[in-house]
Amino acid sequence: MRRAYKFLLRPTSRQAGALAACLEDHRQLYNAALEHRRTAYRKAGVTVRYGDQSAELKHIRADDSDVQGRWSFSSQQATLRRLDKAFRAFFDRVKAGRKPGFPRFKGRGWFDTVTWPKDGDGCRWDSQPEHPTATFVRLQGIGHIRVHRHRPVKGRVKTIAVKREGRRWFVVLSCDEVPAEPLPTTGAVAGVDMGVASLITTSDGAHVPNPRHLAAAADRLADAQRDLARKKRGSVRRCKAAARVAALHAKVRRQRADHAHKTTNALVRDYDVIVHENLLITNMTRSASGTIEQPGRNVTAKSGLNRSILDAGWGVFLRVLAHKAESAGRELIAVDPRNTSRTCAACGHCAPGNRATQAEFRCRACGHTAHADVNAAINILRAGLALRDAAEAA
């Protein structure tokens, strides 16, 4: 398996300045490469690709040895590949008929990651193994940086990235050949219905509440954002106010991830087979504002629902669940969510009126009553087991 490990860096003041300079120089390289592509196509109709810009990189480093020449060649190639990936995604969206979103120039604060594609090429993990109590990572042009390694690293380190989050620096390791850690079998299966009132409801009738971390921090965020709006652009006080807003959002993000890890740990520990809805969260949270010619309806209510869905963190939950299920040797099945909340788990009758309220399910055909989310979770489980049986029969 391939896994990522994220650790806090503890750079000295000199190293922190060098890390910031490294990010800034890679940002300028990204923007220059983007301008090169735009200008070549606009003036000469020529398409510039990654191979062309990578071949020119050695000349750029030779001409600007004091700035671009001090960093790793491989990390600069990774930055050019990042731009190339943005263009490929742009053309894929054009072909699919979606909103194109042409690649944009990265301003300060919008470029926070530098990647080294190979351990040992401009970077080295655990660069001082003889040190008895600390772990270091060496980065070309910066030196040996102390790492707060709070857990062991398993597998083979493949790539190393440095990321800035607010005033903190992190190192992210991507490792191959990470061994699985299978859990003992339990023989239990479960369907999982995801919602806003309860984060998840299982077919066994268990409810995991939605902590609503963003809603809990809404007042503090509103105060911090009002304070930010009053500050003059470019001032030191505005930078401090922006840092406070970012710190509040970061705390919410960490709380949401922590809750997802704890909830998914319990699921993979208790069940061998877990069935969940294949939710298209991007489509579900799309704005209902519409256009000037055709304005949307219930825009305020829809925006509130979108905020609640995003605050629940369904995407984070499903991603963490997939990783933990793979590592634990559990089977994860995604099913089509259509009509799972309208179908009676007792007789199979499907009608919009079966769901009397958000929490109550009452079948119009047989009179079966149940909690609406539990009824949906049972339908999800049956659909997943049917898919599993069909796959095994084929």
Domain match, 163 and 273 both:
no
Domain match, 140 and 206 both:
no
Is residue 259 within 8 A of residue 283, CB to CB? The reply is: no
Domain match, 18 and 130 both:
yes
Lowest mean pLDDT among 181-190, 201-210, 353-362, 376-385: 353-362
Within-domain flag for 328: yes
Domain match, 277 and 301 both:
yes
Domain match, 195 and 169 both:
no
Residue-range definition of the domain harbouring residue 130: 3-176
Which class for 145: exposed (0-12), middle (13-18), buried (19 or more C-beta within 10 A)?
A: buried
Question: How many independent structural domains does the chain possess?
Answer: 2
Enumerate the active-site residues.
Answer: 193, 277, 373
Within-domain flag for 87: yes
Q: Which value, in Å, is the radius of gyration of the alpha carbons in the chain? A: 25
Tokens of 232: 């003059």
Within-domain flag for 236: no
Domain match, 93 and 149 both:
yes
The answer to whether the predicted template modeling score (pTM) of the entire model surpasses 0.85 is yes
The confidence score (pLDDT) of residue 305 equals 82
Alpha helices in 116-173 (DSSP H): none
Within-domain flag for 164: yes
Domain match, 48 and 168 both:
yes
Within-domain flag for 46: yes
Domain match, 77 and 12 both:
yes
Contacts of 2 (CB under 8 A, 6+ apart): 155, 158, 174, 175, 176, 178
Per-residue pLDDT reduced to its tens digit, 43-99: 999 999 999 999 999 999 999 888 899 999 999 999 999 999 999 999 999 999 888
Per-residue pLDDT reduced to its tens digit, 286-311: 776 665 566 666 677 778 888 888 89
